[in-house]
Amino acid sequence: KLDLSDYKFFFLSHNFSQNSNVYPSIKKLNLSGNTHLSDYAFNRLVKSFPNIEALHLLGIPLRSSISTNENRTFLTFENVYSYFQQNQERFKALAISFDPSLSCDTQIKRLFIQSPPKLTYFHIDGTLNVSTLFHFLLVFDNTLETLIAGRLQLDHTGCQPLFDAISQYASNLKQLCVFLNTPLNLSAAQQQKILFPGISKRKVEFSI
């Protein structure tokens, strides 16, 4: 495991740009918090770690750009999408953040559209609808063990469709942590920890 979280300006330095070493033994890479990470720096970095199975990009809000210039100064969804599609067969864990300007629902469906992922851990920080959460539980088809979803928007059906989807499509899920945009009519204790009816040892945490 290599933790390069919150290095920020390191990826703008001369030392980074001159590095050409390859580290095949590194399988977990944490880049969270590096807001200055660009497409160019990301592409150069992952070439040094050809066997990554877990990638963490929290705190780096992915944006979209119609530009094809790899030297843009921020990390784009299109670039991460391309990398993930080329390497998703070996990925077991992924954590990503979305800029508010980017449609989280649309991009998440696009991310997993080609073939079912083998992820056991997925953390998404971005506003998404409960229907999208239902969709990728169906796509994951019982492979997920941990799912963390930020800023979930509920509709009039509340959490029941989510419970139903987990019962049907997430038999291996051990923990689900959901941050809600809309307050639930629950007690403080219920908001912090809820056990699924009839599903033992499966914990759900709600934060508002």
For the whole prediction, is pTM greater than 0.75?
A: yes
Question: Among candidates 72, 114, 124, 70, which has minimal Cα distance to 94?
Answer: 124
pLDDT 10s digits, 8-35: 777 666 566 666 788 899 999 999 999 8
> What is the CA angle 41-43-46, rounded to 5?
105
Q: Report whether CATH 3.30.750 matches the domain 103-208.
A: yes
pLDDT at 31: 94
According to DSSP, residue 73 is labeled S
Q: Which two tokens stand for residue 18?
A: 């001159």
**d(C-alpha 168, C-alpha 100), whole Å:** 31
Q: Taking the alpha carbons of 29, 1, 207, 193 in that order, is the dihedral positive or negative? A: positive
Would you state the pLDDT for residue 200?
A: 45
Rounded to whole angstroms, the Cα distance separating 92 from 187 reads: 35
Return the domain boundaries, the chain.
1-83, 103-208
Helices (H), the chain: 14-18, 39-46, 77-87, 104-111, 130-140, 160-169, 188-192
pLDDT in tens, 100-111: 888 888 888 888
